[in-house]
Amino acid sequence: QPDPNSISTIISVFHKHAKEDGDCSNLSQRKMKEFIQREFPHDPQTIDKILQFLEWDGDREIDFNEFLLLVFRVAKACYWYLPKGPC
């Protein structure tokens, strides 16, 4: 069962960055790029590819659904690369 605290954290992180961007429901591509660079340091090409993938509806803003796509992709990548605990 999902941990409600983890879900709450994902929502809070999105709202925090959206609020800093001046709109509580969307992130600009610029703000999302800053967030990705700070949280997931990668090369610029990787960041641009992530943003292109996220920004699939063409409005140049990242809504919560698009933000969740990033979170799920990162979680999936971590699942495969981090050591597994005892099962």
HEC per residue, 12-41: HHHHHHHHHCCCCCEEEHHHHHHHHHHHCC
| pTM higher than 0.75 | no
User: Using one digit for the tens of pLDDT, what is the confidence trace for 13-68?
Assistant: 888 888 887 877 888 878 877 877 777 666 677 777 776 776 666 777 888 888 88
Query: What percent of the chain is helix, strand and coil (3-state, nearest 5)?
Result: 65, 5, 30
Comparison of pLDDT for 85 and 5, the residue scoring more: 5
User: How far, in Å, CA of 66 to CA of 71, rounded?
Assistant: 9
Q: Which of 21, 26, 30, 7 is nearest to 65 (CA)?
A: 26
The dotted CATH code for 4-81 is 1.10.238.10
Contact of 3 with 9, CB cutoff 8 Å:
no
pLDDT-based confidence at residue 82 (cuts at 50, 70, 90): low
